[in-house]
Each structure stands twice: as structure tokens, then as C-alpha cells.
A and B are shown apart, each in its own frame.
Chain A
Amino acid sequence: MGNEPQSLPLSPAILHILISLAGEDRHGYGIMQQVARQSDDQYKLGPGTLYDNLQRLLDQGLVSESPKRSDDIRRRYYRLTAMGRRVLGAEIHRLENIFRVAKSQLRPIRGK
């Protein structure tokens, strides 16, 4: 797993960006749309927040630029790196543990 647990927990914005890139390479606007879709419009990223986080993810090597290009030359596509995938996996595993504990704590209350 390398050093990835040190990056955890991920901020909500970074978690959503990584999840949106897990399926396919996307450009900035594509990531914004996918984040809105995957959160049922509960979480909306603005371009400033998006590129601020992308800058950090690129620096940390969790995301890289993809060679994929579109008609608009201004667009750049991004993809999850192998390390980014491992970090996302570790974060999901961490969240699953929290949910498991939370569910086990809530069960007796439901029973009452």
C-alpha cells in the first residue's frame, strides 16, 4: 500500500474527484458533471475548487494528464494513476470500517 494511508482521510472534494476519475479519463467540466451526478446534485464543485485540488493531486502523483484530446484545445483530460487508485481504495476501505462500526452502534438503538 506504500505511503498512501498518510494521505487519509481525503477531503470530500478530493474523494469525489478521485471517484469521478475511477471509471474513465475526464476533463475539468466532465469531472464537475460526474461529481454532481454521483452525489445526486448534493455536492457541486466549482472550477476554482476543482483546479485547486487537481493541482495538489497532480503534485502528489495521484492524478496525471491523459493523452486523450478533444476538439477544444483548451481542454485537458485527467486520469487516475496507479497510486491514486490505491489511495482511493484505502480511503474506501477506511470509510467501510467506519460505516461498519456506525451500523453496529446503531443496531441496539433500533431494537429499543
Chain B
Amino acid sequence: MVTVRSVYELLLRLHPGQFRKQFQDQMMCTFDDSVESRGSASLILDAVLSLIRQWALHPRYWLNGSRIEISADAPVDFVEWILQIRKAKVLYRKARLLNFAWVIGVFLVVLIFPLPLERKGFILLWCLQSFSLIGIRERERIRKESRDNLSLAQDSHQTYRRWTEAKRDGLRRWSVSLTSPLNPGTGTLIILSFMSLVGLFTQYVRHSEIDQARLWVFFAGTTILAGLLFLLRRVNQNAVQAFQRAIDTEPERVTGVARAIFER
């Protein structure tokens, strides 16, 4: 069962890494102390506002934080981590979960949008269908990539190097596709966000029957989702840079790590 405490903890987890490291435990402790006197709703609202403030108003903290977190300590360890989760296929599960959360987000946003029911149904079907197609295409591409890599087994150093680079390219493609308007979910959000703006505008010009409050909620929802997407992209870009640095600076160790994981 989802408790208020776990929702609060989740909100804290969404804060920038540096802030989390410094204050997450303290904030959980303060939450435990103050939940009875303050009430859970005000604390949740406070955490949401803090989340927005941290990402929107203090970029210098999270930009530095994410760089340090991923790259400065041990780039090769980071590569090992990425390769391991690929080997265990955990990354696929994570990607599916992320896609699922994304579809649910789009579903809710479309549901809020003041359109006739049949049009909402059409948009939702289109989104869901596109996601499943992308999933199948991506799985096929990865399978083919793995087969190609293994067929180069005569030169194992080259094989593992290619495997590592393919992983890097996968991360890069993923980060780019997340925020591309050609991504069905992102494209839908952009179109609906634009439609809500047009709706708000016409509401002001001539009082139509569209519920203004719902339009505002919808517009805020799409904007927050868009912000999350850009954030994901930023984090991924840092990951790609860290990956590349590891490949460039310590190629022998990286291929050694890749081989060890593959043969494990």
C-alpha cells in the first residue's frame, strides 16, 4: 500500500543528486517529526514546491551535481555498471517501466483534456500503438546489434570495444528520442499543450464552454512532463559523456571489464 511517507520519499528521490546526498535523510527525519503537527498534505505540497525550485531555480547545483555523480569518481566503474545492467536485461525492464509511466502520464493528460470522448479514445489508441511499435523495433535493433558484435569474435578486443560503443550509442539515441517531437508521446504532448494554449486564448477572447480550470491543470501537467523529459535528456547526455571519457582514456580497462561481464 502506498503511504504518504513513501510518496514523500519518492518526491525527495526526484530532487537533484547533490541536494539528495546532503539533505534527504534530514528531510525524512523532519517529515517524521512534523507530519502530525503539520499534516501530510502541506508537507507533500512543500516537497513538490521544493522539487520545482531545485530543478528550475538552482541549475548550478544540479548541473555540477550530476556531472560529479556520474563521471568524476570512476568512469570505468560507471561503464561496468551500465554493461552489467545490459547483460542482466535490467535496463530493458527499466525502459519498459519508464515507457509505461510515460504512457500513463500521457493517458492522464489526454483524459483531463476537454475533448469529446471518441477523440480522446483515438488519441490514446494512437499513442499506445506507437509505443508498442517502437518497443518492437528497438528490441529487434538490439538483437541484431548483439549478433553483429558476436560475429566479430576473431578479434575479441575489437568485439568488446564495439559492444561498449554500441551501448554508448544506445544511450545517446535514447536521450535524443525522448525529447524529439517525432517521439509519439512527446509529439502528442506538444500538440495537446499547444491546443490547451489555443483553448485558453479562445476562452479569454470569447467565453466558450471549455472548462478553464481543467485547461490550466492540463497545461501545467504537460509542461511538467516536458520538463521531466528535458531533465532525463540532460542526465543521459552526461552519462554518454562519461561513457565516452572512459572509452577514450582507459580503452584497455573498459574492454577488460566488458569481457569479464560477458564471460561471467
Contacts and interface: CB of A to CB of B under 8 A. Distances in A.
B30 A32 contact: yes
Interface residues of A, number: 18
Contact of B34 (A29, A52, A74): A29
A94 interface: no
Contacts of A76: 26
B61 A49 contact: no
Interface in A27-51: 27-29, 32, 44, 46-51
Indicate the member of A29, A32, A50, A51 with the most B CB atoms within 10 Å.
A51
Interface string A38-79: 000000101111111011000000000000000010111000
Given A46-B42, A46-B43, A46-B46, A55 B61 contact: yes
Given A55-B19, A55-B23, A47 B54 contact: no
20 contacts: A28-B30, A29-B34, A46-B43, A47-B31, A47-B34, A47-B43, A48-B47, A48-B50, A48-B53, A50-B30, A51-B27, A52-B50, A52-B53, A54-B23, A55-B23, A74-B25, A74-B28, A75-B26, A75-B29, A76-B26
Interface of A: 27-29, 32, 44, 46-52, 54-55, 72, 74-76
